[in-house]
Structure 1
Amino acid sequence: MASIGLFEALIALFCFLIFYYFLGKKHFSYLHIKKTLESYPWNWPVLGMLPGVLWRLQRIYDCSVEVLENSNLTFQFKGPWFVGMDILATADPANIHHIMSSNFSNYIKGPIFHEIFEAFGDGIINSDMELWRDWRNGSQIIFNHQRYQNFSASTTKSKLKDGLVPLFSHFADKEMVVDLQDVFQRFMFDVTFIFITGFDPRSLSIEMPEVEFAKALDDVGDAIVHRHITPRFVWKLQKWIGVGTEKKMMEAHATFDRVCEKLIAAKKEELRSQVITHNTNGESEDLLTSFIKLDATKYEVLNPSDDKFLRDFTIGFMAAGRDSTASALTWFFWNLSENPNVLTKIFQEINTYLPRTGSDQEKSAYLNKLVYLHGALSESMRLYPPIPFQRKSPIKEDVLPSGHKVKSNINIMILIYAMGRMKTVWGEDAMEFKPERWISETGGLRHEPSYKFLSFNAGPRTCLGKNLAMNLMKTVVVEILQNYEIKVVSGQKIEPKPGLILHMKYGLKVTMTKKCSSFN
């Protein structure tokens, strides 16, 4: 169990007494505090700006837009004294390019990041330096191999045909109101699980069963957010006692260990059986199989034969693959409901380039011609990035292009959600949903630098699965639009939930109807 020092406990008590003292003063009435906190992050004695963050937590993303717009894209957040919560928040593309590309070697995840994200172990999410390079090189070889590309494409189409389409038809026949976000999360959980392990957990079904691994991912996400907004000694104390989100974190950790142990043992036994019977599949291969087969002599610190390594790989790739794509699809369909003119243009493009009949291979060949759909997906991710922020820390002192000096080990938060809404970055129409901004004058895709559009990361850490993810989303969108009409239930509250992934706080309630054979 974690330990907590006497000094940290005394600081916690002192912070509480100071805050209580201010609240007890008559001139610090409730209305006065409310007005102060809503106008600008107030730097309180001892407590810093943390009370303002907690006050704004339910609309933290929109508040970050307001603060950064008034701070020339970069803002210094002061945390409580002595607890190491000071943060430099930025949405400046020049700073981001400096951090993610031109001075990449100086900016790492760091030990504090690793501690906060400890559930992911030493996987690619947490890794730096030599370990990250080995992860990157090994992953790049596997992702670029035709075996995995074939496997991912066939898995997506199979899950659509045997999972999502029958479920949508059931919902349509029963005239049910369903949470589209939940459906997409289940779809992507199954798809990602198959991508990684080759096994289908079948969470996408009429019964909508609870899957312990999926729940563990959700609980870990909640606990990590809690650690971001809570002084370290507080969540350490919670972990030591075993209460609150820290208790759920420990339970999720145990679930990860138990499930991964079974999966890895089963996969190794399957591979041993294939060697004995010479029954190997040369056309397609899941990621876990590919990593087990990696030649360890080609890497400095990667150890594909180690079960801990394989466990961390499985959890990290599950977290990255399930939630981000499900989030992107959910916000995309909501944006379509709010912009029927965009939906009409996508219909026209699909009618023009994508045949209603023909083999899956023939349909796939047309995906690259769906330029407007690509632009609409990009525009949706600009305004509603699946991963709303990133965290970095410099090894050595540095000066950012904005002129801000950063000390070693300071926390730097790149606010991706806010950057997508900055008028100085995207123009006066930054808040508008306009897929046309991604279309060039010649009708092709307009390139935007990754440090300006950060949904797939930037620099050496650019997402290896970017093209696979875009093709998956296009495939899902086309299949749904060709066969169903999705209608968002009116009157529901749509807002993002504070978290590692930009989920909708209350889900997305929709109804769906089947389309007739003629495509509209």
Structure 2
Amino acid sequence: MILINAAITASLFSFLYLFHRRRCCKHPLMRDYPILGMLPSVLFNMWRIHDFCTEILKKQGGSGEFKGPWFTKMHYLITCDSLNVQHMLCKSFDNYIKGPEFREIFKPFGDGVVTADSETWKYSRTILPSSNIGSCTTTRKGGRSSRCLQSLHLQDVLGYDPYCLSIDFPEVAIEKAFNEAEESIFYRHTVPKCVWKLQKWLQIGQEKKMTEACKTLDRFIHARIASKRVELLSKCNENEMGEAHVDLLTALMGQEQAHDDRFLRDDEFNLFVAGRDTITSSLTWFFWLVTKHPLVEAKILEEIKDNFEANYEGVLGIEEVKKLVYLHGALCEALRLFPPVSIERKQAIKDDTLPSGHRVNGNTMILFSLYAMGRCEEIWGKDCLEFKPERWISERGEVVYAPAYKFIAFNAGPRICLGKDLAFVQMKMVAAAILRKYRFQVVEGHSPTPSHSIVLLMKNGLKARIMKRL
């Protein structure tokens, strides 16, 4: 009898709790299982998580709610509605922040410009535009392979070249640490907080990798800060000091404001990740798309020859690549279909109603899928799944600029990427330098898949044969 009563009580409790969840969750994205919530569907489709997210959002009209296991705080509103994105990033910017939970999950980023809110973010934002990042090194290395991006950004930001372009292509410890940290951050989004917190306390699984990666990153960056201080102190005259101001670290140290090592470490880490991984991701997917579309490749080569036939053997400079309109369109298409940062996260401060009609309570976590937005017919039309550079070119042969809250690869509103123009210059220089001399052929049977990371890199890289053009 006791067992029967216990079973009846448990069943009644489960029924009432499930009823309560369904009342709270008015726009469920997927099936809500007892106890486990909607997490099983996500884990089952983890191997294709971005396409799965796109499919369920389309079925729900662009927005819906996700609830994780019972008694956890895995509760998100997920959207790919461009009007919702415009509302959060532009019109009601002050009401949607990164928040303390974001900073906890993204701990390796510290309090840098990517994770900061309020006055901390404003301060970091104001000091960065004065730093001329990358122009010298971009010109110097623009004619080398796409792997130069890691070397380029380490040198631009930290004044350090890891020599990753050596003939034997050595594994760079700092690169491995960055990758493991980013994969761990992605993992924290897929499990309840109590799970990764326990793993962190026990130092097992992905959290052990995160701890070791953070130690490697901190040792490396703090060593660079210390050596840069010594270098600056050794400069005796004004000309030598001027020569030293080539990288961002030197520029920040040379400002009138006194920045402590923690501030320098956080901003250097943020800017290196923002530049290194995003451009690497963009170019990798770009080259893969070009190999799948030979007509696009032919038009890119024709544009380069038509504009620079007299200087075809030389390295194209910054002003020259700005004339490559079709290449610009092809890169925009790659960014639209495979945005380097595929998911953005915000937290509401006050109650609000989104343009889609969804009610947002204070502290609600909101995820918007940039990957899904690039595949929305409402934004890009019926041919949204096609790789079509022409959509970015006007009848007059000029670049067409889409609103930032629709073409969201560089963020939008006050937090729009400061390095957008520089990123396009770097990508166009590298892409033009490689494509005009080499032809890519993807290895038979290789099907690229996105890695489980906060940056949309290819899981096993792009396996391709590179042949010199005749």
TM-score, normalised with respect to structure 1: 0.82
In 2, the alpha carbon distance for the partners of 1:364 and 1:114 equals 36
Contact 1:493 1:506 in 2 (8 A): no
Q: The residue matched to 2:383 in structure 1 has which SS? A: coil
The answer to whether the 8 Å contact 2:142/2:426 transfers is no
SS at match of 1:280: helix
Give the aligned partner of residue 515 of structure 1.
Answer: 469
Whether 1:208 and 2:162 are equivalent positions in the alignment is no
Q: Which amino acid aligns with 1:217?
A: F
Q: Which runs of 5+ in 1 are unaligned?
A: 1-16, 22-39, 143-147, 165-183, 297-303
What is the distance in 1 between the residues matched to 2:168 and 2:126? Answer: 40
Query: Which segment is superposed worse, 504-513 or 264-273?
Result: 504-513
- 1:280 deviates by 2.0
- Single out whichever of 362-371 and 329-338 deviates more from structure 2: 362-371
Mapped to 1, the partners of 2:361 and 2:238 lie a distance apart of 59
How far off is 1:282 after superposition?
A: 5.3
Q: Deviations over 1:316-371 (max 9, x none)?
A: 11211111101100110111111111111111111111245289797432212111
Structure 1 stretches of at least 4 aligned residues deviating more than 6 Å after TM superposition: 358-362
Q: Is the 8 A contact 1:138 1:294 kept in 2?
A: no
State how far apart, in whole Å, the 1-side matches of 2:443 and 2:220 are.
37
Alignment of 1:313-392 (within 5 A): 313-355=267-309, 357=311, 363-392=317-346
Which amino acid in the other structure matches residue 249 of structure 2?
Answer: L
1:159 aligns with 2:120: no
Is contact 1:107-1:394 (8 Å) kept? Answer: yes
Among 394, 397, 400, the alignment partner of 2:351 is 397
Contact 1:450 1:457 in 2 (8 A): yes
CA distance 1:362–1:499, shift in 2 (3 Å): closer
CA distance in 1, matches of 2:295, 2:283: 18
Provide TM-score, normalisation by structure 2: 0.91
**1:115 maps to what in 2?**
104
Matches within 5 A, 1:427-438: 427-438=381-392
Displacement after TM superposition at 1:397 (Å): 1.1
- Give the equivalent residue in structure 1 for 2:184: 223
Structure 2 counterpart SS, 1:437:
helix
Question: Distance between the aligned counterparts of 2:445 and 2:405, measured in 1?
Answer: 36
Q: State the identity %.
A: 43
Q: 126, 137, 146: which is aligned to 1:137?
A: 126
RMSD: 2.0
Task: Indicate the SS of the match to 1:455.
Answer: helix
Letter in 2 for 1:319: V
Distance (Å, rounded) in 2 between the aligned partners of 1:473 and 1:62: 26
Matched, 1:44 2:20: no
Specify the code of the residue in structure 1 equivalent to 2:179. D
Task: Determine helix, strand or coil for the equivalent of 2:163.
Answer: coil
Pair 1:451-2:411 in alignment: no
Matched, 1:269 2:230: yes
CA contact (8 A) 1:355 1:363 kept: no
Q: How big is each residue's C-alpha offset from its partner over 1:36-93, in whole Å with a ceiling of 9 and x where there is no partner?
A: xxxx721012211011111111111111111111111111111122211111110001
Q: 1:90 aligns to what?
A: 79
> Is contact 1:420-1:426 (8 Å) kept?
yes
CA distance in 1, matches of 2:84, 2:165: 42
SS class of match (1:335): helix
Q: Give the superposition deviation at 1:235.
A: 0.6
- Kindly indicate whether residue 208 of structure 2 is the aligned counterpart of residue 254 of structure 1: no
| Cα offset, 1:283, TM superposition | 9.1
Structure 2 Cα separation of the partners of residues 495 and 466 of structure 1: 26
Q: Matches of 2:65 and 2:464 in 1, distance apart?
A: 41
**Aligned equivalents of 2:267 and 2:59: distance in 1?**
41
Query: What are the ranges of 5 or more consecutive residues in structure 2 without an aligned counterpart?
Result: 1-9, 15-28
What is the aligned partner in structure 2 of residue 196 from structure 1? 157
Task: Report the CA distance between 1:408 and its aligned residue.
Answer: 1.3
**CA offset at residue 504 of structure 1?**
1.5
SS at match of 2:322: helix
The aligned counterpart of 2:56 is 67
